[in-house]
Amino acid sequence: MANKIKFDEKYCLEVFEKLVACDSTTGKCEDIEKLVADMLDQLGYPYQRIHKGGIIADLGGEGNPLVVTGHLDDIGLMVRHLNADGTLKVVSVGGLYAFYCVTENVRIYTRDGKIYTGTICRTPSSIHVTEDELRKNIADFEKNTCIVLDEDVKCAEDVARLGIETGDFIALEPRFTVSNGYIKSRFVDDKGAVALMFAALKQFKENKIALPRKVYFYFAEYEEIGHGTTVLPDGVSDILAIDIAPTGPEQTSDEKKVSIFAKDSRYPYHNEMTNELRQTAIDNNIDYVMDVFTPHYGTDCDGSIAAGYDVRHAAIGFGTANSHGYERTHVEGLKQTFDLLTAFLLK
């Protein structure tokens, strides 16, 4: 049965690009939730909406229920204060740092439905008229980094008249591109995972696959702030997160491989379930590595464990560079992760 399942690279990348183009800063995911619901409708999968936000699709199967989760929310910003000069002071939503996004274009969403554009800038912004000592300071949203609006505003009152106010959400331009198999974009975390989950859904539907166990695909929100999958369907025994596997000097993760997570900065993953994933990779000649992610990493599995669910938890993901910045992975890493996911579901 597993040999019927093929990784449809074209479809996966089309979905990936569509997902990253849909702004979904944590806390403001209405648009992407509608997009995902529409895509599930097109494929013919039943689903339920979570009251706080999120979608759980039912893939069928009987017994020993498993949840596979990838999250829809992105890191971003929120308006903190209207500055006297007409710029915006901002605060991060999730783990976004100023030095990873200076000069990026943004969209500001007001509470009454207007959308404005702007740019994240240092203050002062022009290097030619900035003293050497100031240029040495790291970008910091609290001290020297703001948003300059693409509007004719000179003071806080001008900005207020546009309808912009404290608490408005701000999304960054993703700049999705593919070059020689390398995918570069903001929000590879975690829209790459959601894209390959849809690639699996499409293959299961087209090949009329009957899964050997009950499976749910959980498209979560709020993962970036730690409470994504804190609500699970009744009777779930296992949860598998798909997320990025950050690369680094002491990491084994690779952009062209799938990582099986042994531990993150919170907990070790369930040893038995992790070993099952590892053996599945070995049995199916999947290019995998084992890795540990610390000191600043976690997945949606952690939220379920912290919420007190009696479940085994594990995580896999594609190697990704520049996490929480302008990220990069490779289509081969997506394929290896897809192959491990589908082989595990069909074993």
- One domain for residues 16 and 81: no
Supply 134's token pair: 């100031």
Say if residues 116 and 176 touch (Cβ distance below 8 Å): no
Residue 180 counted as domain residue:
no
**pLDDT by residue (tens digit) across 203-251?**
999 999 999 999 999 999 999 999 999 999 999 999 999 999 999 999 9
Structural domain range at position 68: 2-74+187-346
Same domain, 301 and 162: no
- CATH number assigned to the domain comprising residue 264: 3.40.630.10
Percent of the chain scoring above 70 in pLDDT: 99
Q: Which of 223, 255, 327, 332 is catalytic?
A: 223
Answer yes or no: do 318 and 214 share one domain.
Answer: yes
Q: Is residue 252 part of a domain?
A: yes
Does 1 have pLDDT greater than 60? no
Same-domain check for residues 68 and 198: yes
Q: Please check whether residues 38 and 150 belong to one and the same domain.
A: no
Which residues does 35 contact at the CB level (< 8 Å), separation at least 6? 18, 19, 22
- Indicate whether 114 and 203 sit together in one domain: no
Residues 309, 232 contacting (CB under 8 angstroms):
yes
Residues 142 and 57 in one domain: no
Model confidence over 257-285: pLDDT tens digits?
999 999 999 999 999 999 999 999 999 99
Residue 140 belongs to some domain of the structure: yes
CA distances from 150 to 86, 105, 124, 167 (A): 11, 10, 17, 19
Query: What number is the average pLDDT over the span 310-336?
Result: 98
pLDDT tens for 126-170 read 777 777 766 778 999 999 999 999 999 999 999 999 999 999 999
Cβ pair 69, 220 in contact under 8 A: yes
In a domain, 35, yes or no: yes
Task: Look up 223 and say whether it is catalytic.
Answer: yes
**Overall domain count for the chain:** 2
Residue 47: pLDDT over 60? yes
CATH number at residue 81: 2.40.30.40
Residues 106 and 196 in one domain: no
Kindly state whether residues 200 and 60 are assigned to the same domain.
Answer: yes
Tell me the pLDDT tens digit for each residue of 194-210: 999 999 999 999 999 99
| Domain final residue, candidates 122, 147, 172 | 172
Q: Are residue 94 and residue 64 in the same domain, yes or no?
A: no
Whether residues 330 and 236 share a domain: the answer is yes
Q: Is residue 179 part of a domain?
A: no
| pLDDT surpasses 80 at 3 | no
State which of 126, 147, 172 marks the end of a domain.
Answer: 172
pLDDT tens by residue, 50-61: 999 999 999 999
3-state secondary structure the chain: CHHHCCCCHHHHHHHHHHHHCCCCECCCCHHHHHHHHHHHHHHCCCEEECCCCEEEEECCCCCCCEEEEEECCECEEEEEEECCCCCEEEEEECCCCHHHCCCCEEEEECCCCCEEEEEEEECCCCHHHCCHHHHCCCCCCCCCEEEEECCCCCCHHHHHHCCCCCCCEEEECCCCEEECCEEEECCHHHHHHHHHHHHHHHHHHHCCCCCCCCEEEEEECCHHHCCCCCCCCCCCCEEEEEEEEECCCCCCCCCCCEEEEEECCCCECCHHHHHHHHHHHHHCCCCEEEEECCCCCCCHHHHHHHCCCCCEEEEEEEEEECCCCCEEEEHHHHHHHHHHHHHHHHC
Residue 185 has pLDDT above 50, yes or no: yes
pTM for the complete prediction? 0.95
> How far is the C-alpha of 170 from the C-alpha of 162, rounded, in Å?
15
Examine the domain organization and report whether 7 and 49 are in the same domain. Answer: yes
